[in-house]
Each structure stands twice: as structure tokens, then as C-alpha cells.
Structure 1
Amino acid sequence: MDDAGNLSSNATQMSNRVDVVTYSVVACFGIILCLLGMIGNAIVTWILTFSIKRTKYTVYILNLAIADFLYLIFVAVVLLLMVDQMLNRNRLTKVTLLALEVMYDFGYNAGMLFLTAISIERCLSVLFPIWYKCYRPKHLSSFACGFIWLLGALLSLLDNFVCPSQAFMATTKECTGIQIFSTVLTFVFIIPLMLLSSFILIYIIKTTSKKSRPPKIYLAIIMTVIVFLISVAPIRLLWSLLYFKLLNNTITAVAFFFATTYCTAFNSSANPFIYYFVGRQRKKRFGGSINEALSRVFKDDETEQTSDGSTTTSSVN
């Protein structure tokens, strides 16, 4: 999340006043969560790269898995360094902290934007099936993914270089501007778009006849959006309220850091498991192999369900 490096630094400075062993154990559980998420996203990346024919939507999901994988790597590194600082009192250089924070925020921003793009892309195919089939630019997915990576990098660099740790703690005008922009982007554009897209997909699922079931990827998208809204949105809102002093700050920096880290790490780790449980066979307890379960979700994407109940074939990219 934004300014994770600041929170980590504050938590380290407060380690003299907290139970270091307790927070070290909590950090270790966070690292285990990150490792599970990294394994899941690595499997999704492998399957989408080598086992399944790439389509308009799986391009986004592949990039989302890569973004989540990168994010979880740097969350795990931050937690490891935090434990080392609390136990050994080692201090990191400013350059190291800045690099970690840039990559941390980069993975978070990219993942959030990819999830938004996936929701919008699917809704466009449902609401405007003729335009989508006949006039949609052929390489729109690839160009959109490239733009999202660039935008995620720019947001991270802007956040960390315009509003470094010292300026953030002093709540300078520059930092306030960055926080206003981030809050507006999240709660005025991204979250409303996710909600609108999810409601549209839910409506399509409800109105689709039993004979022509909607693709499983519809349910997968809805569930990933719900997980994001439950795990990340409240923390992001709390962060904004605390920064603008609209809420009494009774939360210690170290506790807020762990709450933020666990929520965002859970969000980035959950998607591969969502794909698996959506794609597994109901008659089988464990739904067969992971490859088969994921293939059912993403191969459903080759046949699109339009708003009038007809089906169309999805082309690559």
C-alpha cells in the first residue's frame, strides 16, 4: 500500500516499546502468507503462459498474476528486514528503503489497475457485443497492459519522490496533494468502476437461463473484486481518514502497518485460489488437478455469453 516503507520504518523505531517477539511471529506468519500467494500466482502465470491459448481476458489475468507476484515478493522482503531490524537493531540505508517502497507501491498500484481493467473489459463485451466483436482494436489488451504497467510505475515514483518519508511525516502541501489524488483515484474512479462492473456481471448471471450458463470467469471476476473491496478498500479509507486527521489516531504505527500488510497480501494471494475453487468440479471433493481447474475457468473464456443469451468466440489479444 502507499507509503509502506514509512510505516515499516516507524514500526522499527517503536520496537523498543512493543513486544518484539510477538511482532516477529506475526511478521513470520505474514511471510508464510506471501509465500503461498507467490506459489499460487506463479502457477497461474505458468498455466496462462504455456498451457492455455491466450485470449483478450487472460492477457489481463496473466499480468495481474505477475503484478501480485512482484508485490508479494517485496512484502515478504519488507517483513524479513523488519524482523531483522527489530531483533538485531540493524538500520537500513535510505536508498534501500526508498527502493523497497517504490517496488512495493508499484506492485500494489499495478495489481489494482489490472483488476479494474479486467472488470471493465468483460462488461464492455456484455454491454456492447457487436462493437466488441467487430470493432474492438485487435491488440487493445496488450496496449492496455503496457499502459497500466507504465501508469503504476509513474504513480509509485510520483508518490515516493514527491512525498518522501520526511515530507510525509510533516504533511507537506506536496504530500497532501498526492494523498488527495490517490484518494480520488481510488474512491471516485476505481472502486465505483469495480462495483458497477460487478453489478452488471451479477445481473447477467441472474438473467441467464440454466441451459446457457455464463462462463465461470464471470464468477471469478466478481469474487476477486469482492475480496479486494473487503480486504483493501477499508484499509485505504482508514489510511486517508488518518492522514487528513478526520479520525482520532489511536492506532499505533506498528499495528496499522501489520493490518495494512496482511490485508493487501491476502488480496494478492487470494486470486489463484479463487480461480481454483471456481474451476474445480463440484462432484469431486478436490476438483482434480490445479491445471484442470484453472483450465476450466480460462477456457470458458473462449466462448463468450452475450446479453441476449447468444454466444460468440473470443479471439486472441
Structure 2
Amino acid sequence: MSLFQKNFSQSPLSSLNVEMGNNATELQNHISVLGRFIESTIYLLICLSGFVGNGIIIYLLGFHIKRNIFTTYILNLSIADFGLLTAGVMQNIYLILDMFGSIFFIDYLYILNDYVFLFTFLASQALLIVISIDRCVCFFFPLWYQFHHPPRLSIAVCAIIWILTCLISVTHTTLSVTIKYFGILSLQYYLNSVIFMPIMFVSTIAMLIKLCLKSQQKKSGKLLRANLLILVFFFFFVYQINIIHFISIFQEVPDSFLSYSSICAILNSSINPMIYYLVGRDKKGRSSKRIDKVFEQLFKDDEVYRVQQETTEALQL
């Protein structure tokens, strides 16, 4: 290297370029941390709103309002959504702690969060599938539903759902941590995408068609309309989650897609109480009524009782 080249390589201009590059990298790191902090804050606010709404529903249906066959499913769905939001908060805690460097228990927190999220997410999906089938049977076979539906069937179904989803989640978490095996989860997402979700889609479309035809003659219950909206939003938010996670088993998926799927799951669990409130409140738009009173009035609007009335009138004719 010549003296000129050596002096040029050590010139102030070269040092300035290196310093500017370091400053740019540092600025990008600060922007990245700020972006993650803003994302975590929004995430936590969404979870907080969902905590309040689902907490009120759990309190009312668990301790204040007498439950029936249908509201038993709603109670268990709110518990599953509350647990899913808890997993969302845990995920944000994990991200915030990760910003400040490595912490010895952060890996255990990640494993616990993965288990809680999967457990409650699968339970929520299963409960919504059962709700769609239950409403469809009530609509199209009202006589059977009124006289032959086992009164404690909803309790048994919910118990089976919690046990099965717990076993699936424990097995997947154990195998994924110990031997890096993800076959159980891939099978679950495959069944959700190919079998269970299409069944739910068909039953929901059938109820929507019947609701549109029925609305021309007689007004349907608010609780039914609220749950149909919940099923529609469930398809909008959750179906793509199954597709993304199923694809991620076989090929690498960008982290942004996985983050998007988590946000969709949180939104789906947070939006259900809002739907109950918007459908259950007075049509005149009075906002002075307390949210717990709106929920209480909505859950007493039992669609099964309406079906029984219509069946009795039909038999009398």
C-alpha cells in the first residue's frame, strides 16, 4: 500500500463515514426498540379491554344469572378467551424483558406462554364450533331440541373440550421442548382447516340464511344475532391463523406473519364482549346504561325459549 493510499484510508473523511454508519445502526436499533414498545403497549391495551369485558361475562354467568344450555357454552368461551388474553399479556412481558437483555427465567416464561396460548386457543375454537352446531340444530330441529336435548349435555361437552385441549397442549409442549417434534400440532391445525372449520362455516351460513328469511316475518333474539356476528368475526380473524401455523410446520414463515396471527387471536378474544354490548344495548343508542346491565338483559334473551314458543304456536295451529 502506498503512503498516499494509507493516509487516505486513515483520513478524517473515512473516520466520519464509519462514525455515521455506527450512528445509523444505533438509530435503527433505537427505532426498532421504540416500535416494539409501541406494539406491546397497543397489545396490552387490547388485552385490558378484553379482560374487562370477558371478566364481566364470567361474573354474570358464573354467579349472577341462572345458566341454561346455551349460556353454559358462552361462559366457557369467555373463560377460554380470558385465558388467551392472559397468554397475550405473558407474551408482551416476554418481549419487554427480552429488550433489556437475557434473563435466566425468560425461556421458561416462553414455554409457559406457548402452552397457555395453545391450550386456550384450541379450547376457544372447539367451543365456537360446538356453539355453531348447537344453534344450527336448535334452528332446524326445534322439536327435537325442545323435547329430546339432554339438559346436561352442554356441561359434559365443555368438560370434554377442556380435557382434550389440555392433553393436546401438554403433549405438544412436552414433545416440542424435549425432542423438537411438532407432528401433533400440525395434525391439529390440519383438522381445524380441513374438517372442523368447514363444518362451522356451513352451519353458520345456514343460520344466516334462515335469519334473513325469518327477519321478514318475526324478529329474532339479540343473543342469536350476537353469536352469529361472533362466528363471522371468528372466521375473519381465526381461520387464517390455522393456515399460517399449518404452513409454518413445513416451511419457514416470516416472523411478521406469526405476530399477525397472534394479534388476530387477541382481537378475536377481545371483540366478543364488545359485540354482546353493541347488540344488546338499546337501539336508541342510550349509553347511560351500565355494561353489566346490558349483558344481563342480553343473556336472559334466551333464543331457546323463543323457539319453544314458536313450536307451541305451530302445534296449536
Alignment TM-score, normalising by the size of structure 2 = 0.82
Which residue of the other structure, out of 201, 204, 213, is the alignment partner of 1:195? 201
4+ residue stretches of structure 1 with deviation over 4 A?
Answer: 15-18
Determine which of 26, 31, 45 is the counterpart of 1:32.
Answer: 45
Shift of the alpha carbon at 1:94?
4.2
Structure 2 match to 1:274:
275
Shift of 1:210: 4.5
User: What one-letter code is carried by the residue in structure 1 that aligns with 2:198?
Assistant: P
2:25 alignment counterpart: none
Aligned to 2:11: none
The structure with the greater share of residues assigned to helix is 2
Flag the 1:89–1:259 CA change in 2: closer, same or farther, 3 A: same
Q: Distance in 1 between the 2:269 and 2:214 partners?
A: 30
Q: Does 1:296 align with 2:297?
A: yes
Gaps of 5+ in 2: 1-27, 313-317
Q: Deviations over 1:76-119 (max 9, x none)?
A: 02211211111243243544432222122111111111111111
What amino acid is the match of 2:208? I
Contact 2:143 2:311 in 1 (8 A): no
The aligned residue for residue 6 of structure 2 is: none
Residue 196 of structure 1 deviates from its aligned partner by 1.5
Task: Report the Cα distance in structure 2 between the residues aligned to 1:89 and 1:18, rounded to whole angstroms.
Answer: 20
- Percent identity, aligned pairs only, is 29
Q: Does 1:54 align with 2:55?
A: no
Unpaired runs of 5+ residues, structure 1, are 1-14, 168-173, 313-317
**Shift, 1:262, TM fit:** 1.2
Instruction: Find the residue that maps to 1:291 and give its secondary structure.
Output: helix
Q: Structure 1 stretch 88-97 or stretch 278-287: which is displaced more?
A: 88-97
Report the CA distance between 1:267 and its aligned residue: 0.5
Asked which structure has the greater RCO (Cα within 8 Å, sep 6+), the reply is 1
Match in the other structure for 1:11: none
Amino acid at match of 2:147: C
Output the amino acid matched with 1:155: I
Which residue is 2:94 aligned to? Answer: 81
Q: Distance in 2 between matches of 1:187 and 1:209?
A: 32
- 1:44·1:62 contact (CA, 8 Å) conserved in 2? yes
Q: Deviation at 1:59?
A: 0.4
**Matched residue SS, 1:300:** coil
Listed as ranges, the matches of 1:7-156 within 5 Å are: 19-92=32-105, 94-156=107-169
Provide, for residues 233-287 of structure 1, a one-character-per-residue CA deviation record: whole Å limited to 9, x for no partner: 1132123223323xx74x2x2x334312211110110100000011111113427
| Counterpart Cα distance in 2 of 1:123 and 1:57 | 12
TM-score by length of 1: 0.82
Question: Which protein is bigger by CA-based radius of gyration?
Answer: 2
The count of residues paired between Structure 1 and Structure 2 equals 286
